[in-house]
Amino acid sequence: MNKKVLAALAVSLLSVNTFAKQDWQLVWNDEFDYQGAPDDSKWSFDTQGNNWDWGNDEAQNYTPKENKNAWVEDGNLIIEARKEPYRWYGDGQTKEYTSARLRTLGKGDWLYGKVEVRALLPKGNGMWPAIWMLASEEKYGGWPKSGELDIMENVVYDPNKIHCNIHTGAYNHSIGTNKGNTVSTSLPSENWHVYSMEWDAEKVIFFLDGEQVFRFDNEHKTSQEWPYDQKFHLLLNVAVGGEWGGTMGIDNSVFPQRMLVDYVRVYQMGEVLEKDADLQLNTSLTDAICYGEMTNLEIDTAGTGKPLEPSKLVITVNEKVNGETRTIENLYSENGKLYATVAPIADAEYTTVVSYRKGEENEQVVTKENTLKVVPQILADVKVDEQQVEVFVFEGGSQPFEYVLDYDNFQTDSYFYNLSYGKHVIYVKDALGCVSNTYEFDIVPKNGTHSEVVGNSSCMVYQSAGTLYIENAAAGTSYSIVSANGSTLLSGKLDAAASVSVASLSCGYYILLVGDKSFPFVKE
């Protein structure tokens, strides 16, 4: 399967009490457990800054909801930057890139609190994703006087660096007094990380995966140094180019690029229970996985911000197949979460039982049954008719199917025409992204005398006893042989026999380039 499927069982704690203390309480969140456009009761598409290139000479136009540069799918918010022309009506300017900038202004505005965002970042020169906050009412004036809080910025030409910054009238990059920090992390375009910030009247602290990376303290001077005594709102965006993001240019080959957001959670200090809690635990489970894959069941034990006591938390995962139930016991803990790795069986039911013991005689148990659909194995075959082939699926998978020939691009048409002579491979992909095994076949000319042959009527290539023979090619014609990843292994000019020895090559898939023609072949 091309995409990783995670079965996430989120555990949250909500309570009322008779004896309480101050601690973080969840006040606003989006878990993206729906499909379609971002929830418009929480998010707005921010576009007006297109009129002035957002003050950073950015190369994209941010688009409204209708352009679908941001949507929710498979439990994630997706913000996609694309290379496509888009004319912004405000200034009449057409730019060659589009993206989205979402904000919570008027729908989520907070004075002090903790913000947590779990995200997967885009890659490629020119990408500039950000998770940040701005003042909602700008009581001290326009930028930077009313302040900015950059929870995460990543200029992708330096892909493993995460930047956390504050901007105020006294401290900002435009006058060379910026305050912030830069830290390295592991491949944020391939590994999920949690970017967070805690903010109160005395300080702002930034975190990466729970580790403090920067702290800014209130100097108790003026609003020029500390404008952070007013409500702020959250922004999520992926810029393209700009004065910082475009320092090393824009790599047009990487588009489209996406930032994925698993959740956004905002907490504020409030009363939480020491005892007599009304505990509620909620679980959810994704519903599909490809045949033969392993699945991680992820159980978040952090609750509303304070980890539950491990000694009081009991979690079991049961697997029911054909009426028989077994308990999955290989749970392990890492970074405040529990995990269980299982190899699902088709149509098995996975029941998660979560309990939290508040006392020896005070235990609440929540159970939820989910059917985890295991997509049956895709079984396909090919029908070869001279130089064309038809692919058909006779078992497994989920329609509609897509097909790819010789590691090229997937297509919806199951027919391939005018194929070159020689070996070919076919893959089939279904609607859930599951991919079949490889199906190999040969295209051989009717009058062919060699076991392996590729080419067409104007130029034939035969392979025999470790040598390639090229018909209808003149002596002195340039040739080269490249590997499947594009590395040149052999090169030269054809001799009078128009033959090339491939005896030195190891077994594998190669491409012969003769003049302006290319011929794939397999060395066995």
pLDDT computed for residue 277 by the predictor: 34
Residue 263, φ and ψ in degrees, nearest 5? -160, 160
Residue of 80, 116, 148, 225 marked active site: 148
Q: Is 451 exposed, middle or buried (0-12, 13-18, 19+ CB in 10 A)?
A: exposed
Residue 163, φ and ψ in degrees, nearest 5? -110, 135
pLDDT computed for residue 502 by the predictor: 85
Residue 242, φ and ψ in degrees, nearest 5? 95, 175
pLDDT computed for residue 138 by the predictor: 93
Residue 73: active-site member: no
- Residue 201 CA, distance from chain mean position: 35
Separation between Cα atoms, residue 305 and residue 296, nearest integer Å: 23
pLDDT computed for residue 437 by the predictor: 77
pLDDT computed for residue 275 by the predictor: 38
Interior CA angle at 186 toward 180 and 188, to 5°? 75
Q: What is this structure's pTM?
A: 0.52
Helix extents (H) in 376-470: none
Separation between Cα atoms, residue 162 and residue 42, nearest integer Å: 26
pLDDT computed for residue 199 by the predictor: 95
pLDDT computed for residue 304 by the predictor: 38
DSSP string, 173-229: GGGT--EEEEEE-S-TTTS-EEEEEEE-SSEEEEEETTEEEEEEE--SS-TTT---S
Q: Given the structure tokens 């000019």, which residue do they identify?
A: 493
pLDDT computed for residue 64 by the predictor: 94
pLDDT in tens, the chain (524 residues): 222 222 222 222 222 222 345 688 899 999 999 999 999 999 999 998 998 889 889 999 999 999 999 999 999 999 999 999 999 988 889 999 999 999 999 999 999 999 999 999 999 999 999 999 999 999 999 999 999 999 999 998 899 999 999 999 999 988 999 999 999 998 999 999 999 999 999 999 999 999 999 999 999 999 999 999 999 999 999 999 998 998 899 999 999 999 999 999 999 987 544 433 333 333 344 556 676 665 555 544 444 334 444 445 555 566 666 667 766 655 555 554 555 555 556 555 656 555 544 444 444 444 445 556 667 778 888 888 888 889 988 888 878 999 988 877 788 898 998 887 778 888 888 887 788 877 788 887 664 433 343 444 445 677 776 788 777 777 888 888 887 667 788 888 888 777 888 888 887 777 888 877 777 777 76
> Cis (ω within 30 of 0) for the bond into 256?
yes
Residue of 116, 153, 198, 319 marked active site: 153
pLDDT computed for residue 361 by the predictor: 47
pLDDT computed for residue 368 by the predictor: 47
- DSSP classification of residue 3: S
pLDDT computed for residue 503 by the predictor: 84
Residue 386: active-site member: no
pLDDT computed for residue 301 by the predictor: 45
- Residue 368 CA, distance from chain mean position: 28
